[in-house]
Amino acid sequence: MFEEALIDILLRLDAARSQALLDDCMLIGALAVGTWGIPRSTDDIDFAAVTSDPAKLAQVIGGEYKVGGPGDPLRGVIHTSAGVVLVQLVLLPHRLNQIVFADQGAIDLSGRKVPIVSWRSLVILKLYAGAPQDQIDAKGILDVQKPTVEDLQGLKQIAASLGLKLDFEAIVGKLPPKMSELKSGCKKRA
């Protein structure tokens, strides 16, 4: 069901791209968490998307655009569906787009390369979202990926630039003891 839904939405996104309505997009959310961290159930497919005309993009893919309101950390979200599966195209703030789209990968789906957020950028997105499940996801990704000291220092720098340093340090503090040598490389020295 999810594979068919993913192929369906990817075809619609390709059509939008061919009309110059979609600059870039990549998988985020639970499908990305399952790729880089600990798989969990989900009832939707989430993408980060870059577009200069979200209302027109929504129209072309058969969705509805909701502008982010005052105090909303997102520029907006396009809601649509692929069969019975809900699909969200999340429009991130410009600074966050610069960070996450600079570091992406791809997964193979039926012979097709599908862009996906990197595990590092996914940790940042999860910290940015800030809900309890997002914190669990971020910790799970770090547990599975076993980042190097350099990875953790880079993540800490990015998190700090977005005002998420304390959130990052809270997650790093929850890593298993076997990673204690990595945690010490990221702690502030007195």
Burial of 102 (0-12, 13-18, 19+ CB in 10 A): exposed
Q: What is the mean pLDDT of residues 116-136?
A: 95
The answer to whether 85 touches 45, Cβ cutoff 8 Å, is yes
Confidence of residue 1 (pLDDT cuts 50, 70, 90): confident
Instruction: Reply yes or no on whether the pLDDT at 115 is more than 80.
Output: yes
What are the structural domains of the chain? 2-184 (3.30.460)
Instruction: Reply yes or no on whether the pLDDT at 182 is more than 70.
Output: no
What pTM does this model have?
0.88
Confidence of residue 109 (pLDDT cuts 50, 70, 90): confident
Q: What is the mean pLDDT of residues 59-88?
A: 94
Instruction: Please list the residues that pair with 78 across neighbouring strands.
Output: 65, 89
Q: What is the mean pLDDT of residues 163-178?
A: 81
Instruction: Reply yes or no on whether the pLDDT at 81 is more than 70.
Output: yes
Instruction: Reply yes or no on whether the pLDDT at 73 is more than 90.
Output: no
Radius of gyration for the alpha carbons in the chain, expressed in angstroms and rounded: 17
